[in-house]
Structure 1
C-alpha cells in the first residue's frame, strides 16, 4: 500500500487539531515582504497583530510564493521519510504562483507529485487538504486523494466583505471587482471567488447591512446540504466575526459538523483584503 503525503501552503487556515492527518500534512510558508524585508508567513513578524501595525504605519506590505527550490526540498524530505506519492494542494493559481512552484519542484524529486489548484483561498484550501488527508489516512492512492480534494473544492462557497477595495487593488488581486472601484465610496462590496478570481457578488449600502447579508449568504450556501463545515475568518474585526458566527451557529443548528470555526487571517491573505475584512466559507459534506 502506497504512503501518500499531503503538502499545502500557509494560506490554508487548517484547524489546530488535524487528528489522524497530523503526520501526513506539511504546510509550506508563503513570503510576506514588509518594506523590503522578507519573512515567512506565520512567524511573529507576520502575525495578524504585526500586519495590522504595519498597515496602520503605511508600510509597504507585499507577498510572494514559496520558491520551487523550497518545495523541492520539502518533497525530497517526504520521499526520504518513506512516502511514495505526494498531493500538493494550494491556493488559486489565478492569485498566486504557488502552484507553478509546485509543478516546477515536482520535476526535481524521485516520487510522483500531483499538484492541485484549488481555485480558492484560505479555509477553502484547508477543506480540500483535509478531504485529501482523510483519503490518504485510510490508505488511498494519490489519485484518490486528489479526487476527494476536487470534490470538496467544487462544493465549497466563499463570500467576503472588505471595508475598502484599495488593498486588493494594490496587490493586483482585484480581478473583476475592479468594476466597483469607481463607486467604492458609495457601496460596501460583498465579494466571492469564481474560477479562482475575486469577483463582485453584491453591492450593499452600509457595513452593517453587508455583514448581515454575509451571514445570510452563508445560510443560503447550506440549504441543500446534509452537513457542512463553516469557517468565519477576519482581519482585525473580532466583533463582526463573533456576530456572524453567533448568527450562523443559531440558524444552522443541526447542519454543522462541529462548531463554526473562527480564525484571523494570516498576513498573506490579510495584506490583500485589509483591516475590517470578514469572510464566510462553507464546505458541504461530499
Structure 2
C-alpha cells in the first residue's frame, strides 16, 4: 500500500478495476428499499433493483456512511502502512458523506485530508483519480487533495431526466420546480453547479434532450484533452447512442481513450429515476 492512500465513496462510479489499479479505497453508501438496508454495489443494491422499486412506487431512500464506518476505513489503511489519507467525496450539499469523513478524520490514527468535490458521480471519481495520480507522481497529501479539487472544479456534469419527481422526493429540487416541469411535460436539462442541481434548459422530447446534451458536452470539452463518461438508469440504448456520438466528435481530445459508458449507481439512481442520461466531461490536467 502507498504511504498516501486515496479514499472515495461508491457514488464516484469508478469501475472496480480502475479503482484497484490506482489503489483507491471505495466506501459504500447505503440504499434503503422498503425496509431493507443494502450497501451500494453488485453484491448489494444495484441500479436494476432501484429502477424496479421506483417504478413500483416502493419507498427508496439513501444513507451516508457513518463517521464510525469511515473511521474504520482510515484505521485499516493506517494498519496497512498508510501515513496519510486523502478522502474525496461527493458534494456536501447533496450528501452527509463529506461530513462523515470530516468527523472521522478527527480521531483517525493518521492525518486525513477530506475533500468536498462539489460534484457527483464520475466527476467525483475523476477527482479521486487525479489525487491518486498525484500520489503516484510523488506528490504530498496536500498536493493530491489540491489536484482532486482542481479536477472536480474543471469538470462538467450534465444530465436530463424523464421527470423531476424523483429529485423532488429526495429534496434535491423544490416542489414548485417539479410541478412546473410536470405541467409543461418537458425534459429538463440539468447540471451540477457548485455542488447543487441547477436547471439549464427545458426541451419538449427525449430525442431533443439527447441532442442538446450532446452539444452541451462538446462545448464543455473545449479544445484540450478530456475524459468523458456517459451514465444512465434503465436507458441503455440512448446512452449507447450518446457514447458513440461523443466518441466520434471528441476523438482528437480523447487521444485514444474510450468514452466510459455504464449504468448509474443505485444511490444516485434513487434520486434521478429511470430514463436518466448523464454526460461528464473532465478536462485532463
Query: TM (normalized to structure 2)?
Result: 0.95
Match of 2:182 in 1: 184
Query: Which deviates the most, 55-64 or 36-45?
Result: 36-45
Match of 1:35 in 2: 34
1:81 maps to 2:80 = yes
Match of 1:271 in 2: 270
Counterparts of 1:272 and 1:62 in 2: how far apart (Å)? 8
Q: What secondary structure is seen at the aligned counterpart in 1 of 2:148?
A: helix
How big is the alpha-carbon RMSD for the aligned residues of Structure 1 and Structure 2? 1.6
1:244 maps to 2:234 = no
Counterparts of 2:44 and 2:111 in 1: how far apart (Å)? 35
- Alignment coverage as a number of residue pairs: 282
Counterparts of 2:203 and 2:22 in 1: how far apart (Å)? 44
Residues 28 and 71, structure 1, Cα contact 8 Å, conserved in 2: yes
Q: CA deviation at 1:49?
A: 1.6
Residues 6 and 132, structure 2, Cα contact 8 Å, conserved in 1: yes
The superposition leaves residues 99-140 of structure 1 with CA deviations (integer Å, 9 ceiling, x where unpaired) of: 110011011112110000001000100000000000112221
1:209 maps to 2:203 = no
Q: What secondary structure is seen at the aligned counterpart in 1 of 2:25?
A: strand
Counterparts of 2:179 and 2:280 in 1: how far apart (Å)? 24
Match of 2:233 in 1: 235
Match of 1:12 in 2: 12
1:105–1:178 Cα change, 3 Å: farther
Q: What secondary structure is seen at the aligned counterpart in 1 of 2:6?
A: strand
Residues 79 and 111, structure 1, Cα contact 8 Å, conserved in 2: yes
Counterparts of 1:44 and 1:112 in 2: how far apart (Å)? 31
Residues 44 and 50, structure 1, Cα contact 8 Å, conserved in 2: no
1:281 maps to 2:280 = yes
Match of 2:129 in 1: 130
Q: What secondary structure is seen at the aligned counterpart in 1 of 2:150?
A: helix
Counterparts of 2:22 and 2:280 in 1: how far apart (Å)? 26
1:242–1:178 Cα change, 3 Å: farther
1:234–1:80 Cα change, 3 Å: same
Unpaired runs of 5+ residues, structure 2, are: none
Residues 4 and 24, structure 1, Cα contact 8 Å, conserved in 2: no
Match of 1:170 in 2: 169
Q: What secondary structure is seen at the aligned counterpart in 2 of 1:276?
A: coil
Counterparts of 1:183 and 1:22 in 2: how far apart (Å)? 42
Counterparts of 1:275 and 1:178 in 2: how far apart (Å)? 21
Match of 1:48 in 2: 47
